[in-house]
Amino acid sequence: MSTIMIFAEFTNTQLKKSTLELLTAARKSNLKIQAIAVGPGAKNMLAALGQNGVEQVFVSDSEVFARYNSEVFSNAFAEVIKAQSPKFLLASSTMMARDLFPRLAAKIKAGVVSDCTELSFSGDSAKIRKPLYSGKCSAEVQFVSSGTQIILMRSNQLPIEASQKAGAASMSEIVAPKTDLKTLVKEIVKATSNKLDLTEASIIVSGGRGMKDAENFKLLNELADTLGATVGASRAVVDAGWVPHSMQVGQTGKTVAPVLYIACGISGAIQHLAGMSGSKVIVAINKDANAPIFQKATYGIVGDVFEILPLLNAEFKKILQH
Same domain assignment for residues 217 and 159: no
Q: Which residue range forms the structural domain that includes residue 143?
A: 3-173
Same domain assignment for residues 128 and 275: no
Distance CA 133, CA 123 (A): 31
Q: Which of 59-68, 159-168, 171-180, 231-240 has the lowest mean pLDDT?
A: 171-180
Distance CA 205, CA 229 (A): 7
Beta strand pairing status for 137-141 and 299-302? unpaired
Same domain assignment for residues 262 and 128: no
Same domain assignment for residues 214 and 118: no
Distance CA 318, CA 322 (A): 7
Same domain assignment for residues 235 and 162: no
Q: Are the CB atoms for 285 and 309 separated by under 8 Å?
A: yes
189 occurs within a structural domain: no
267 Cβ contact partners less than 8 Å away, ≥ 6 residues apart: 208, 209, 210, 286, 288, 291, 292, 293
Same domain assignment for residues 146 and 226: no
Q: Are the CB atoms for 264 and 274 separated by under 8 Å?
A: no
Mean pLDDT throughout 285-302? 95
Q: Are the CB atoms for 156 and 259 separated by under 8 Å?
A: yes
End residue of a domain, out of 153, 173, 193:
173
Same domain assignment for residues 18 and 152: yes
Tell me how many domains the chain contains: 2
Distance CA 279, CA 258 (A): 5
Same domain assignment for residues 208 and 77: no
pTM, two decimal places: 0.82
pLDDT at 192 over 60: no
Same domain assignment for residues 129 and 212: no
End residue of a domain, out of 156, 173, 190:
173
Same domain assignment for residues 254 and 160: no
pLDDT of 238-263, one tens digit each? Answer: 999 999 999 999 988 888 989 999 99
Assign residue 283 the CATH number of its domain: 3.40.50.1220
Distance CA 119, CA 60 (A): 28
pLDDT of 167-181, one tens digit each? Answer: 889 999 998 776 666
